[in-house]
Amino acid sequence: MFDLKITHCTLPDGRADMDIGIEQGRITALQPNLAGAAERTIDAALQLVSPPFVDAHFHLDATLSYGLPRINQSGTLLEGIALWGELKPLLTQEALIERALTYCDWAVAKGLLAIRTHVDVSDPRLLAVEALLEVRERVKPYIDLQLVAFPQDGLLRAPRGVDNLTRALDRGVDVVGGIPHFERTVAEGAESIRILCALAAERGLRVDMHCDESDDPLSRHIETLAYHTQRLGLQGRVTGSHLTSMHSMDNYYASKLIPLMAEAEVSAIANPLINITLQGRHDTYPKRRGMTRVPELLAAGVNVAFGQDCVMDPWYSLGSGDMLEVAHMGLHVAQMTSQTAMRDCFDAVTTRAARILGLEGYGIAIGARADMVVLQAQNPVDAIRLRANRLAVIRNGKVIAESLPNVSTLSLPGRPAEVRFQR
Ligand code: FE2
C-alpha cells in the first residue's frame, strides 16, 4: 500500500506516462502502469512532474521590505546597499522572521522547496542571523533552507568583519560568503577570498561569494576564487554568484578564465532579473545586460544555476518566488533559445541549483525524497513558456499546496468555450 501515487506523469527527461509510488516520504516505485493501492492517488494526466524548484541565490533577510524606509531612487546596486544600511538599525527580529515566513509560504505555493539565502553578518548583534536560524528551523518540514554568511559591508572593509562572520559560522550558518569587489582595493578583495576559503577549508564548509558584481571588465576576483579553490582542494564546493563583470570582460581573458573555472569545479550563479536591472546603469546606449556568460560556461562544463536574488527589497521591487519567471528571463537575456538551451534553463532552477546546494536525495528516482511538483505543462519548455501553474506541490510524500488549473472561459461565436494556452 502506497501512501501516495501519482499516475500518468511526464518527467523532465521526457519519459511519459510514468507512475510514481511513494512510501514513508521516499519514492519506492517508478514505472508505467504501477499496480497497488494507495491512500491517495493524483492523476497527473500526462502533465509534467518535476523535482521541486531550487533557488540557489536569495536574500531572505531583506525580502518583502520594499519601501522601508524609502524606495531606491537610482535603481543601482550601490543605492540598494546604502538603503539596506539605513534599514538595518530599524530591523526587529520579529518583523524579519514574519516577512521571511511569508515569503516561504509564497515559495511553497510556487513549488520552491529549497533556498540558499545569504544573510548579512555585518551587524555585530547578528540580528538577521539569529532570525534566519529560527526561520530555518521553523520551515524545516517543508523547505530546505541553507544560510550563507554574507559580509555585506565588506569582510575587511567593515569593522570586526572577520569576527562577525566567524561568530555567524559558530552559530550554525552553513556556507561561507564574501563580497571581494566591495572591499576597498583589489588587493583587499583578494585577501578576503584567501581568508574566507581558508575558513571554509578548516571547517569543511561550502563557499558562495558575491563575486565581481559590477560592470568593470577588470573585476577579476573570480580568478582568485578559482585559484584558492584548487590550492585548498575545495573543488566542487565553491560557487561564484553574479559574476556580472564577465559580461564586460575582454574575450581573450574570458577564454582563459572559463577553463580555469571548469578545472577548479567552481559553479556559477546568474541572477537574471536582478543583473539586468542593476547592471549597465552607467551606460548610455548600447546598455549592457550585465548577466554572466551562461551558455559559454555551460559549454565549458561549468555548473550554472539561475537565482532569484531579490523579491520586493531595496534592490528589486518585483518578484514572487516563481523560479519559472527567473528561468524565463535567463533564457531571454542569454538568448538560450534552442530546445536544448531552453531545457538547460529549466535545469538551472532545478537540478543544477540542487547540485550547488548539495541536496541529498533530490530528483525523481527510486530512493529519492518524495518532493515534487505537478505542473500544468507538458514539458520543461512549456513550463517556462507559461510560467506554469503548480497544480500540486509534494513534500516528503504529502501534498502541501494545490491550485486549480488555469482555465479562461471564452464567449466567442464559433470558437471553443475555454482556453488553456496548451496544445
Ligand atoms: Fe545577492
Residues 218 and 249 in one domain: yes
Q: Cα separations (Å) of 257 from 97, 267, 344?
A: 40, 13, 22
Place of cell 532569484: 308
Q: What pLDDT was estimated at residue 119?
A: 98
Q: What pLDDT was estimated at residue 312?
A: 96
Q: How far is the CA of 339 from the centre of ligand 1 (A)?
A: 29
Q: How far is the CA of 274 from the centre of ligand 1 (A)?
A: 9
Q: pLDDT-based confidence at 409, cuts 50/70/90?
A: very high
Residues 217 and 348 in one domain: yes
Q: How far is the CA of 84 from the centre of ligand 1 (A)?
A: 13
d(CA 304, CA 349) in angstroms, rounded, equals: 9
State which of 336, 357, 378 marks the end of a domain.
357
Percent of the chain exceeding pLDDT 70 equals: 100
Residue 47 within a domain: yes
Q: How far is the CA of 86 from the centre of ligand 1 (A)?
A: 18
Q: What pLDDT was estimated at residue 175?
A: 98
Residues 8 and 125 in one domain: no
Place of cell 551562461: 294
Q: What pLDDT was estimated at residue 248?
A: 98
Q: How far is the CA of 253 from the centre of ligand 1 (A)?
A: 25
Model confidence over 34-64: pLDDT tens digits?
Answer: 999 999 999 999 999 999 999 999 999 999 9
First to last CA, the chain: 35
Q: pLDDT-based confidence at 407, cuts 50/70/90?
A: very high
- Residue 389 pLDDT > 90: yes
- Residue 169 pLDDT > 80: yes
Pairing of strands 304-306, 267-270: parallel
Residue 416 within a domain: no
Contacts of 103 (CB under 8 A, 6+ apart): 60, 63, 64, 311, 321
Q: Give the SS3 label for residue 272.
A: helix
State phi, psi for 128 to the nearest 5 degrees: -70, -35
Residue 148 within a domain: yes
Residue 255 within a domain: yes
Contacts of 78 (CB under 8 A, 6+ apart): none
- What crossing angle do the helices spanning 127-139 and 161-171 adopt, rounded to 10°? 20
Residue 420 within a domain: no
Residues 250 and 381 in one domain: no
Residues designated as active site: 213
Domain count of the fold of the chain: 2
Residues 98-112 have a mean pLDDT of 98
Q: How far is the CA of 77 from the centre of ligand 1 (A)?
A: 10
Residues 31 and 66 in one domain: no
Average pLDDT for the chain = 97
User: Which residue type occupies 96?
Assistant: L
Q: What pLDDT was estimated at residue 411?
A: 97
Q: How far is the CA of 210 from the centre of ligand 1 (A)?
A: 6
Place of cell 531571454: 332
Q: What pLDDT was estimated at residue 397?
A: 98
Q: Nearest 5°: CA angle at 294, between 288 and 297?
A: 130
Residues 280 and 185 in one domain: yes
- Residue 72 pLDDT > 80: yes
Q: Which CATH number is 291's domain given?
A: 3.20.20.140
Contacts of 256 (CB under 8 A, 6+ apart): none
Q: How far is the CA of 384 from the centre of ligand 1 (A)?
A: 23
Q: pLDDT-based confidence at 422, cuts 50/70/90?
A: confident
Residues 185 and 198 in one domain: yes
H helices within 110-142, ranges in order? 127-139
Q: pLDDT-based confidence at 418, cuts 50/70/90?
A: very high
Q: How far is the CA of 276 from the centre of ligand 1 (A)?
A: 13
> Which pairs from 351-354 meet CB under 8 Å and 24+ separation?
351/51, 352/303, 352/304, 352/305, 353/53, 353/54, 353/55, 353/56, 353/114, 353/269, 353/305, 353/306, 353/307, 354/51, 354/54, 354/114
Q: How far is the CA of 235 from the centre of ligand 1 (A)?
A: 22
Q: How far is the CA of 23 from the centre of ligand 1 (A)?
A: 38
Model confidence over 255-300: pLDDT tens digits?
Answer: 999 999 999 999 999 999 999 999 999 999 999 999 999 999 999 9
Burial, 143: exposed, middle or buried (Cβ in 10 Å; 0-12, 13-18, 19+)? buried
Q: How far is the CA of 11 from the centre of ligand 1 (A)?
A: 31
Q: What pLDDT was estimated at residue 106?
A: 98
The CB density around residue 284, as the number of other CB atoms within 10 Å, is 6
- Residue 224 pLDDT > 80: yes
Residues 74 and 150 in one domain: yes
Q: What pLDDT was estimated at residue 421?
A: 86
Using a cut of 0.85, tell me whether the model's pTM lies above it: yes
384 within 8 A of 103, measured Cβ to Cβ: no
Residues 242 and 264 in one domain: yes
Q: pLDDT-based confidence at 159, cuts 50/70/90?
A: very high
Residues 365-391 have a mean pLDDT of 98
Q: How far is the CA of 6 from the centre of ligand 1 (A)?
A: 36
Residues 15 and 156 in one domain: no
Residues 162 and 76 in one domain: yes
- Residue 423 pLDDT > 80: no
Residue 105 within a domain: yes
Residues 382 and 255 in one domain: no
Residue 422 within a domain: no
- Dmax over CA atoms of the chain, in Å, equals 72
CA-CA-CA-CA dihedral for 259, 174, 220, 76, to nearest 10: 130
Residue ranges making up the domain that contains 385? 2-51+363-408
Pairing of strands 144-150, 112-120: parallel
State phi, psi for 54 to the nearest 5 degrees: -130, 125
Q: pLDDT-based confidence at 420, cuts 50/70/90?
A: confident
307 within 8 A of 58, measured Cβ to Cβ: yes
Q: Which CATH number is 368's domain given?
A: 2.30.40.10
390-414 as b/e, with b when 16 or more CB fall inside 10 Å? bbbbbbbbbebbeeeeeeeeeeeee
Residue 417 within a domain: no
d(CA 6, CA 60) in angstroms, rounded, equals: 32
d(CA 309, CA 316) in angstroms, rounded, equals: 9
- Residue 226 pLDDT > 90: yes
- Residue 122 pLDDT > 80: yes
